[in-house]
Amino acid sequence: MTTYGILGLAYLLGSIPFGLIFVKLSGRGDVREVGSGNIGATNVLRTGSKSLALATLLADALKGALPVIGVRYVGLDEMFVAWTGLAAIIGHVFPVWLNFRGGKGVATALGVYFAISPLLGALIVVTWLVIAKIFKISSLAALVALFMAPIYTAVLHGSVEISILAIVIYLLIFWTHMDNIRRILKGEESLINKK
């Protein structure tokens, strides 16, 4: 398979809208008509099902992890690992099946990071948990955790390609969270423990 074919497969895997699929199969309607209209785990949680939200989180993370694990397994270099991870995240954010309107990319990015290094993924999760515990704002926790990712990557991994990937991921996540950032600055962002 050509390199373009592998990247295309990573994009297509990333673009599978698991949140939308799980919610529809459960008979709860279209998740895009709930809350923020997003297809990710946070919005799936607003349907009232923790199990569906957890399934979405895991599935979205796996679609980021599996392509990276695959290209590493066949021995491709770090630059291609970076491109593959990015392709999966772009697939989630801009899925071809949903007119290129997808999720915000956090869970898929987390899957990419866990596939690169379990310790790196764990540090990002711990950072999210600490910020979420302090401020009770999921989007802020995600922004801070993924802001720290390039720093963690540089310290732990030492790969220029993966460090650049982490910066690009953060810029993409920052862009997908622009509405959240505006609400945070206005003090209007929903709290995690708010019913």
30 has a pLDDT exceeding 60: yes
Q: How confident is the model at residue 192 (pLDDT cuts 50, 70, 90)?
A: confident
Structure tokens at 121: 């993924």
Q: What is the mean pLDDT of residues 71-78?
A: 89
Q: How confident is the model at residue 195 (pLDDT cuts 50, 70, 90)?
A: very low
Radius of gyration of the chain (CA): 16
What pLDDT, on a 0 to 100 scale, did the predictor assign at position 194?
54
Query: What does residue 29 show for φ and ψ, rounded to 5 degrees?
Result: 90, -150
Strand (E) or helix (H) holding 53: helix 50-73
- Calculate what percentage of the chain has a pLDDT beyond 70: 98
Q: Would you list the DSSP string of 86-153?
A: HHHHHHHHS-GGGTT----SHHHHHHHHHHH-HHHHHHHHHHHHHHHHHH--HHHHHHHHHHHHHHHH
What pLDDT, on a 0 to 100 scale, did the predictor assign at position 98?
94
- Calculate what percentage of the chain has a pLDDT beyond 90: 84
pTM of the predicted structure, to 2 decimals = 0.94
Helix (H, G, I), strand (E, B), or coil: what is residue 171?
Answer: helix
Asked whether the CA dihedral 180, 122, 150, 17 is positive or negative, the reply is negative
Q: What is the mean pLDDT of residues 93-110?
A: 95
19, 60 Cβ separation under 8 angstroms? yes
Tell me: the pLDDT tens digits for 112-169? 999 999 999 999 999 999 999 999 999 999 999 999 999 999 998 778 999 999 999 9
19 has a pLDDT exceeding 90: yes
